[in-house]
Amino acid sequence: MTTATTTLTAPDGSPRMTTATATTLTTPDGPFSLVADDGAVLASGWTDDVAALVALVHPGLRPVSVRTEASPSGDGTGQAADAVAAYYDGDTRAPARVAVRQRSGPYREHAWALLRAVEPGESVTYTELAARSGRPAAVRAAAGACAMNAAALFVPCHRVLRSDGSLGGFRYGLPVKESLLARERRA
């Protein structure tokens, strides 16, 4: 099944002919969908609304169309889907082994890379993330990087807490964030 999205042009003005692949998995935390292109995750999260995930993808990477797989395949979403299954089976490091492709400004891209280095079972505060970025005063920018993260689980923004230790926000709801953190602590 193909879902049309906005037609885009490449920087040279030529039309972009990108078709991404999407699949939705059943997890203990609810439906989890992912959108991938050439094996790299473009967007993912606890929703069955693939169109909403595609809307999170940076316009320069957003696919022109999305092919939905009923069953993940190796050349589409297979590796990412396998990592999600492995995560829920106890290998909480599995999503870190999957390529992610996101674009934004230099700070956000750097913050996303730093988030991928936060180990399962570990958490950092927005203040600590800003300090790790080399810009300790950029706490709001660190929080913004978490809020704009399109590749949930693969870029583990759920591991970032408020300075007082409370959960803060999460696009897919605090019960999911709490469940992920508890799962990672147990592993």
Active site residues: 157
Q: How far is CA 103 from CA 57, 74, 81, 113, in A?
A: 8, 24, 22, 11
**Which H or E run contains 32?**
strand 30-37
Question: Which 3 state secondary structure label does DSSP give 178?
Answer: helix
